Structure 1
Amino acid sequence: MGETGPPRSAKRAASWDTCVRGESERARRQARVTGRPRRGSAPYATRWAPALGATAIETDRDKGNRLRRAAATENNELVGELHASRARARKLQELTTALGDALTTQAVTDVIVSCSTSLLGTAYATVLLLDVDRRSVRFLRLEPVPDEVARLMAKIPPSAPSATGDALSTRRPLFHRTLAEYLSDYPHLRAATEALGVRALAHLPLVAGGDVMGLLSLSWSEEQRFEPGERLFLATMAGQCALAVQRAELFEQKSEVASILQRAILPRRLPRSPLVRLAARYLPAEAGMDVGGDWYDAFYGPDDRLWFSVGDVAGHGAQAASVMGQLRNTIRATAYADLDPAAGLDVADRLLAYADDAAEDIAVATAIVASLDSTSGRVVWSNAGHPPPVLIRAGAPPVLVEDRHGPLLGVGHGGRTQGSTVLGPGDLILLYTDGLIENRDEALDIGLSRLLDAVTQSPALDGPNAVADHALASSLSGITRRDDLCLLVIQQPTAGT
């Protein structure tokens, strides 16, 4: 057999010398001693490269390549995970922002379902909220399912095991990457799940402050890997949703208290008399906004004059409604004490300015107080920083009565004045709060012009109800109402009406 490596004995020395013939003596000595050619020794390297461990050299190169490939793969995986983490962070931020604008449970659950589809690509999303006792379901928001699926789900006994019940009882998310995994845990749900056409499911308890608020159920039409990072993201998302639900529940409880209080304060019915016609409207702010301190009132005093007022306490919530009730009752008391409208407002101003329990953010209010002698038609009124009334004379265009008689209520300055006019047969006066005309995206003058245009479409002869309806229907058409509003219309009737 031929030589496979450098010589290892004196017997092979001659062959070795022959192989390196042409080398310098120094090169030959180096080759004999080290078993390796001197650098640059082409004849030796060419002749003995296979014999000097070429296989080992190639193996080291392969190992290096493998290490480099492994490092590149690991680096790519890290970069991919970084991109995925950034994408999840953006999705979470988008969800959090959307939830921040939703204040009611209905609005919150709508956002959750919508974002589940747009951000996670789910086929179906369901939000289940528990009652205060956390034992019964009080609210369910789900996307429509095919009739066949609904029929099959109706056949499932309520007591049957389910991922929903297991996730709620353990307070831990349940992830099923494939339909097979899900059906291995809940085989009795095969018919309904297969008909639904989903291939992966996640059931996420909504836990906030240690309290289980409900559950978010997500399903996909494709199988999911649910890597650890994805599971952590979905659990974090559920936590944000739970906080939003908790905030919405607190908001609704507070709003309900304020709404009950406000309804108790506002008059249940308006006075009826053949000598005057009245109409009133009250609308709370659109869903998601708190109850405010708007009020209207109308009553007959001891001298048979008709007293009426409209006002607005700054701020929102139960405290604003409470202050509104105090002011309304104070104005009634001053009327029964035979004080004129300006003097009555001065009393209300002092009450609000020096009340020990007046909150800083609702320490002021605007109001108009007026009295009407139904026999003569004479109206006396005082305006404390309130939007101007609209006077509609029979057969004439509406005008704003822009007289101001004193500052806001709550500033502690008395000495308010008052004005007067006479309503003829068919004449009408409209009082309102700023929610009817105010829009944060436009100047107040635009809202006032819109109101005048609206009541122009309903002449005074149409009556107070028609004027009130036109003001509501047309004045804020297409504009989001961010404040509650009320209006009061008083008309001196014509003969025979």
Structure 2
Amino acid sequence: MSAEEGASTTAEVERALAELVRATGAHIGVVYLLKPEDQTVRMAFVTGVSQRIAMPWSQVALAATVPVAEAARGRPVWVANHAELARRFPRTALALPYHVAMSAVPLASGGTRWGALLQMWPATHAPDLSDQETWAIDDGASRISGLLLRAMQEGHPLRPTELRTVSPPLARHAEPGAELTERFPEGTCALDLDGRITFLTKHAVDLLGSSREGLLGARLWEALPWLNDPGYENSYLGALFSRLPASFTALRPPDRWLAFHLYPDATGISVRITPCEAPRDDVDPVLMPTEEPARPGNLFRLLHLSSTLTDAVGVEDVTEAVTNQIMPVINAQALALVTADEGRLHVLGWRGFRGDIAAGFDRLPVTADTPVVRTILSGEPLFSTDGDELRRTSPSVRMDPDKSSFAYLPMFASGRTIGCCVLGYDRRHTFSLDERAVLTSLAGVIAQALERARLYDSKNQVALGLQAALLPQELPKIPSLQVVVRYLPATDGLDIGGDFYDLIRLDDTSAGAVIGDVQGHNVNAAALMGQVRTAVHAYASAGASPDEVLARTNRLLIDSCSTLFTSCLYAHLDLRDNRARLATAGHLPPILLHPDGHTEILDVPTGILLGVEPQPEYRTVDVSLPPGSVLAFYTDGLVEVPGIDLGRSIDELAAQLGEGDPRSLESLSETLVRCAERTRQSFRGGDDIALLLIKSERE
């Protein structure tokens, strides 16, 4: 198939998209194509907005909970307005905070899924698609899917490698209309679909305080430093995406306020510029109605702060992020996060409400007639500008008397309402439509973050519990030996570590000590760790020498066909003669603290890791263990530091051991672990730490 024929197919898809948009009356149309190798859907064709403006939405993960991804997975989506978008797809609503209705349908043919077809209308659209619109969408999706199938069959499948823009309709008027606009007392300019100025009157030039040459072909917020705030561009984007009028005010330095009124259509946006008065100090800065002067940037700060929830791990982190970072931006003076579990409410956290009021939510049955319960059961937000009226309608509910307005926002996740976010305001607060939509979206994002956090906390508890169960609950008390162990897991979700240790009573005058580290951080590593510890314990208890213990354990791993390797250090402690016989399978060398205070890094013949070769050779070494000496076993989490030689780190550990007080193994172990933790935090390390200190006391 020639390049010309491939270009012809591309042109046919562009034409089909343009004709579909005209048939449905949509003002934006997008074809997303599936990219199977990285499980994403990518924007391939767009009409109604420029490439630059479309780019933030040009790629989404196939598994994401967004309309386009759901359609690409085979499920059509219709969203009638932004409020519904905020409830069902809160992340999309925050990323696309404009008053639109949208349809997303699958593109599929010949048993192959190609991607998704997205269209947008103003939010003034009817609650449902008409029969004619439905037919046109089905026909257009079928037509585009057929073109994609044909392209594949002919050997030139269309790939989402380059975003192509389908041209908007031609402008309806030419330059001769300019004299008409010049007669108006206000300034007038025209912006194209990329926000660039294509026309402006002399009055507009004068009001903006610039030159015609400096403005034509530029974007207002780029050409004028005092309009260089994301909030002003967002007003343009709001009008562009919703095809509804919008307005904002801005201060032209030093003291001149201007009002900008935006009127969009399919070819661009007309802007009327008029002088106005300074905004009142009592105007709420969050997403003011279009008739009020809005302060720019708050929406974008809110979007930025909501992204902090993505980094929050546990429930406590989510609660802290909401109360400390998001609450101030939305200008609320009080906030409570309330969930519903097992028929009762549970308060996860609050700020700004009186303690007794917030505590009154806790353990309240979901049968109670309260705004919180009504919001959870209905899944619909409740906004009360007049707190006194709310108290009259709910006389049995205790409400903070210091708050004048309230918002009860459903926290919707996993197809259900999991709780309610309660906002309180010290002064009377009027909730605009835009603000209601954003707050509802934000509550949905909080809900999804909480759902992830609760899952993380649950998995983390399972991981820590599994680790604890696989390690000895208590070490045996052995005469003439003082033993202290420290174990610090670096667990993240189910990333379970494989460090292990044990102390084994052999008879009245001997004991065994072992430490090791299984490769990896997962359930398989933890399970193998349990097997290795059990095997070492069994072989040592049967009287095997250190080299035999390692050899037999290695054979067990080879026979089990494990793909994980294990380091292990085993010592047979002769308490009668004050000696130790050691063997190692690739583990870090032990350190001996002598009674006179000097330390020695013991040279144990290194054997190969367990589970690598069927018949490796492990050799032993005998060392003196005089009374008062301390033998230190440890894993790499205690000494490994990125960018620092391991030998140097072991030397530093030996020096720290020598500087400690051997009379108290507890304080000595705490000192060593504390130093390692500080290093790990500095270098963002994440490995487990295991430390076993053994002090000989027999004279």
Gaps of 5+ in 2: 1-178, 191-203, 205-244, 248-259, 263-270, 272-286
Q: Do the aligned partners of 2:376 and 2:418 also contact (CA within 8 Å) in 1?
A: no
Q: Is the 8 A contact 1:122 1:220 kept in 2?
A: yes
* Pair 1:493 & 2:680 matched: no
Query: Aligned AA for 1:137?
Result: L
Q: Which residue pairs with 1:173 in the alignment?
A: 381
8 Å contact kept, 1:275–1:375: no
226-235 or 438-447: bigger deviation: 438-447
Any gaps of 5 or more consecutive residues in structure 1?
1-59
Matches within 5 A, 1:83-98: 88-89=299-300, 91-96=302-307, 98=308
Query: Helix, strand or coil for the counterpart of 2:498?
Result: strand
Matches within 5 A, 1:29-40: none
Report the counterpart of residue 625 of structure 2 in structure 1: 423
CA shift at 1:146, angstroms? 4.5
User: Structure 2 CA distance, aligned partners of 1:254 and 1:168?
Assistant: 26
Matches for 1:407-486 after TM superposition, within 5 Å: 407-412=608-613, 414-439=616-641, 444=646, 447-448=649-650, 450-460=652-662, 462-477=663-678, 480=681, 482-486=686-690
Cα offset, 1:242, TM superposition: 1.9
1:368 counterpart = 2:576: no
The whole-number CA distance in structure 1 between the counterparts of 2:493 and 2:380 is 31
**Closer, same or farther: CA 336–494 of 1 in aligned 2, 3 Å:** closer
User: Which letter maps to 1:91?
Assistant: L
Shift in alpha-carbon separation, 1:353–1:436, aligned structure 2, 3 A: same
Q: Which has the larger radius of gyration?
A: 1
Tell me how far apart the structure 1 counterparts of residues 335 and 652 of structure 2 sit (CA, whole Å). Answer: 43
- From 333, 336, 345, the counterpart of 1:126: 336
- Report the Cα distance in structure 2 between the residues aligned to 1:138 and 1:323, rounded to whole angstroms: 39
The root-mean-square deviation of aligned C-alpha atoms, in Å, is 4.0
Q: Cα deviation per residue 1:178-202 (whole Å; 9 max; x = unaligned)?
A: 546644654565x84332xx34332
| Whole-angstrom CA distance in 2 between matches of 1:450 and 1:232 | 58
Question: After superposition, where does 1:1-400 map in structure 2 within 5 Å?
Answer: 65=184, 74=246, 76-78=260-262, 88-89=299-300, 91-96=302-307, 98-131=308-341, 133=342, 135-143=343-351, 145-146=353-354, 161-179=369-387, 182-183=390-391, 185-186=393-394, 192-195=399-402, 198-285=403-490, 290-301=495-506, 305-353=510-558, 355=560, 358=562, 363-400=564-601
In the alignment, which residue of structure 1 is the partner of 2:88?
none
Aligned-partner SS, 2:419: strand
Partners in 2 of 1:110 and 1:442 — Cα distance? 35
Task: Name the SS of the counterpart of 2:613 in structure 1.
Answer: coil
Q: Does structure 2 retain, via aligned residues, the 8 Å contact 1:457–1:470?
A: no
> In the superposition, relative to structure 1, how do residues 165 and 137 fare at CA in structure 2: closer, same or farther (>3 Å)?
closer
Query: Any idea what SS the aligned residue of 1:375 has?
Result: coil
CA distance in 2, matches of 1:439, 1:142: 40
> Distance in 2 between the 1:254 and 1:403 partners?
39
One-letter identity of the residue aligned with 2:612: V
Q: What is the one-letter code of the residue matched to 2:377? A: S
* Separation in structure 1 between the aligned mates of residue 652 and residue 416 of structure 2, nearest angstrom: 49
Shift of 1:89: 4.9
CA separation of 1:392/1:249 partners in 2, compared to 1, >3 Å: closer, same or farther? same
For residue 161 of structure 1, give the secondary structure of its aligned residue in structure 2.
coil
- Whether contact under 8 Å (2:463, 2:493) holds in the other structure is no
Residues of 2 paired with 1:479 and 1:491: CA distance? 27
Deviation at 1:452, TM superposition (A): 3.3
Comparing 347-356 with 424-433, which one deviates more in the overlay? 347-356
Moved more, 224-233 or 290-299: 224-233
SS of the residue corresponding to residue 226 of structure 1 reads coil
What amino acid is the match of 2:533? R
Provide the TM-score with structure 2 as the length reference.
0.53
Q: Report the alpha carbon displacement of residue 224 of structure 1 after superposing the two structures with TM.
A: 4.1
Instruction: Provide the residue aligned with 1:18 in structure 2.
Output: none
CA distance in 2, matches of 1:228, 1:353: 67
Residues 5-32 of structure 1 show CA distances to partners (whole Å, capped at 9, x for unaligned) of: xxxxxxxxxxxxxxxxxxxxxxxxxxxx
Task: Give the count of matched residue pairs.
Answer: 424
Instruction: Give the Å deviation of 1:306.
Output: 0.9
Amino acid paired to 2:485? A
Alpha carbons of structure 1 residues 123 and 328: separation in structure 2 relative to 1, 3 Å:
same
Three-state SS of the structure 2 residue aligned to 1:329 is helix
Give the residue type in structure 2 aligned to 1:472: V
Amino acid at match of 1:465: E
Structure with the larger RCO, 1 or 2 (CA within 8 Å, 6+ apart): 1
2: CA distance between counterparts of 1:157 and 1:345? Answer: 59
Structure-2 change in CA distance of 1:373 and 1:162 (3 Å): same
1: CA distance, partners of 2:640 / 2:428:
52
* 8 A Cα contact 1:255 1:317, kept in partner: no
Distance 1:125 1:454, change over 3 A: farther
What is the CA–CA distance in structure 2 between the aligned matches of 1:366 and 1:218, rounded to whole Å? 54
The separation in 1 between residues aligned to 2:643 and 2:324, in whole angstroms, is 27
Contact 1:306 1:371 in 2 (8 A): yes
Q: Deviations over 1:66-102 (max 9, x none)?
A: 8977999856355999999975355334423x33333
Q: Give me the whole-angstrom Cα distance separating, in 2, the residues matched to 1:62 and 1:392.
A: 91
Tell me if structure 1 keeps the 8 A contact 2:511–2:574.
yes
Structure 1 letter corresponding to 2:609: L
Change (3 A) 1:105 1:148: closer
Alpha-carbon distance in 1 for matches of 2:545, 2:394: 77
Cα contact 2:385–2:431 (8 A) shared by 1: yes
Deviations 1:287-309 (A, max 9, x none): 97954222210112369531111
Deviates more, 1:218-227 or 1:99-108: 218-227
Query: Partners in 1 of 2:421 and 2:648 — Cα distance?
Result: 45
- Structure 1 residue identity aligned to 2:659: Q
CA distance in 1 between counterparts of 2:558 and 2:523 reads 19
Inter-CA distance 427–114: structure 2 relative to 1 (3 Å threshold): same
Cα distance in 2 between the residues matched to 1:313 and 1:101: 29
CA distance in 1, matches of 2:664, 2:509: 23
Q: How many angstroms does 1:62 deviate by?
A: 10
User: Which SS does the other structure have where 1:193 is aligned?
Assistant: coil
> Distance in 1 between the 2:546 and 2:497 partners?
24
CA separation in 1, counterparts of 2:295 and 2:493? 34
Q: Which moved more, 1:289-298 or 1:139-148?
A: 139-148
Superposition deviation, residue 106 in structure 1? 1.7
How far off its partner does 1:439 sit? 4.8
Q: Aligned partners of 1:439 and 1:91: how far apart in 2?
A: 38
**Corresponding letter in the other structure for 1:136:** R
Contact 1:364 1:408 in 2 (8 A): yes
For residues 95 and 442 of structure 1, the distance between their equivalents in structure 2, rounded to whole angstroms, comes to 37
After TM superposition, the score normalised by the length of structure 1 is 0.72
User: What SS class does the counterpart of residue 606 from structure 2 fall into?
Assistant: coil
Identical residues among aligned pairs (%):
27
Q: Distance in 1 between matches of 2:603 and 2:295?
A: 61
Q: Take 1:251 and 1:491, find their aligned partners in 2: how far apart are those partners?
A: 39
CA contact (8 A) 2:518 2:567 kept: yes
